[in-house]
Amino acid sequence: MSLVKKAIEEHKAAIAARAASKAAAAVNTQVARDAFLSEFKARVEAGVRPLLDAFASDLVASRHDALVDDDLANPYKPYISVRFSPVAGVKLEDLASRESVFTLRAFAATRQVHHVSSYDQRSGEHGVTHEALGIESVNPSRVERGFEECLRAALKAWQA
């Protein structure tokens, strides 16, 4: 085999090997993302949804309108949240920017779970907290603590 032909063949082989490596990495990345999303959904269904449902029921029993919402089928950023009225006797649909929301949102690309509390959207106010954590943060004690902080901040922000 000539020197030229040998160099070209080796170059083509190196390009093919890099392409195969990139393809394998992409498959591994997708598998990891799928596993992350699957674990998020399992943790939500096993421990978080029952807790958020209980929070919503307790809020309603205390005359604060509330509901649990989710989009766990979203392939990139699934979430579950509890929306609630920080003002007793006022329906969510009547609140406009005064509703409060505690959300867990999974980000497949970064494999993080964002815990977001939004409790005061008035102009000039900064009633939002945000933490980007790992999948292990999707547990009842962490969610309970985050929701309690959101609830207390919302009640304080909107006290009569």
Question: 160 vs 89, which has greater pLDDT?
Answer: 89
pTM: 0.80
Which of 2-6, 8-12, 89-93 is the most confident on average? 89-93
Q: What is the pLDDT of residue 131?
A: 96
Q: pLDDT per residue over 73-99, tens digit each?
A: 998 899 999 999 998 998 888 876 678
Inform me whether the pLDDT recorded for 160 exceeds 60: no
Q: How many domains does the chain have?
A: 1
Inform me whether the pLDDT recorded for 62 exceeds 80: yes
Domain extent at residue 36: 3-157
Q: pLDDT per residue over 34-50, tens digit each?
A: 999 999 999 999 999 99
Q: What is the pLDDT of residue 114?
A: 98
Inform me whether the pLDDT recorded for 60 exceeds 70: yes
How far, in Å, CA of 30 to CA of 22, rounded? 12
How far, in Å, CA of 53 to CA of 121, rounded? 24
Q: What is the pLDDT of residue 149?
A: 95
What type of residue sits at position 130?
H
